[in-house]
Every structure is written in structure tokens, then in C-alpha cells.
Amino acid sequence: MKQLPAGLPAPDFELPTLDGGAFHLSQALSGGPVVLAFYKAACPTCQFTFPYLQKSGNSRIWAISQDEPEETRAFLKHFGIALPVLIDPHPYEVSREYGVEYVPAVFIIGQDGVIRTSDYGFSKDTLSKIAGHEMFPSDDGIPATRPG
């Protein structure tokens, strides 16, 4: 199964938060659009992308870790990430529902529950959409994309 494309309804789900709570997508969407960012701590492209997600200033980003809580905490501490985090435990049921094959996988979900953007890897365009403004000057030397 390939990653779900924009235009489809986002599968609803509930996952545990890293701090022991629970996250339910449909409840979160009642407050506005949501960004879901699936990742693995050992992925170099995730390590490159997540600081930019943090810098985007979007308060509606939910990181979805495919790692154990201890490894997830170490990743967050090492890269200075303060995003709220969900744990998608093995066998990664939510990741499979979204067709995640490569990480980072990023979905922007509209308040109506429809996927507005579906992307993977590092993408300046997607990060700028998440931020709501152009995040990168044209001469910054950073590639426009980087595969996951």
C-alpha cells in the first residue's frame, strides 16, 4: 500500500501520548487542522527534518514515533524537539492505515478530516505550508527535497 494521497479522508485513530495520555484524531480536529509527522529516531532524514518542524511555529503538529518510548525521549532530547509525541507501537497499525513506507511522512489534515497534503522525506515546500509562510531563503544552500 502506498502512502495515502491528498484528497482522501484521514483515517481516524487513537494513540497513546509519550506522557501517558491519549490522542484521538477526530477530537483534535475539532480545534482546527492538524499536522501528523511519522518518524523513526534512527532515520537521518527525520533527524534533519524535525528541527525545521519545530522551527515552523505551528502548534498543531503531532509527531508519531515508531520507536519505543525510551528511544523516542532520547531523540527529542538530542535534537531539542518539544513537539507533542504519539507512540505508534509495533506492528505500527496507524502507520499502516496511512500507508507509511518512508519516513518522515507528513500529512496535513484539514479540520473536515480530509488530507490536504501528503508528503514524505524533507521538503521545503511542505515545511513552508506547515509554517504558513516561506521558511527558506532561496540562497540558503539547503536542497529543496531530501528522500526519506
Q: What is the pLDDT of residues 74-118, one digit of tens each?
A: 999 999 999 999 999 999 999 999 999 999 999 999 999 999 999
Q: Are 114 and 9 in contact (CB under 8 A)?
A: yes
Q: Which residue has the cell 528522500?
A: 147
Position 76 scores a pLDDT of: 97
pLDDT digits 0-9 by tens, 26-82: 999 999 999 999 999 999 999 999 999 999 999 999 999 999 999 999 999 999 999
Measured torsion, CA atoms of residues 15, 21, 59, 65, in degrees rounded to the nearest 10: -40
CA proximity to 123, closest of 96, 101, 105: 105
Position 148 scores a pLDDT of: 87
Rg (CA), the chain: 14
Residue spans of the domains in the chain: they are 16-135
Measure the CA–CA gap between 83 and 59, rounded to whole angstroms: 8
- CATH pick for 16-135 out of 3.30.365.10, 1.10.240.10, 3.30.110.40, 3.40.30.10: 3.40.30.10
Asked whether residue 1 carries a pLDDT value surpassing 70, the answer given is no
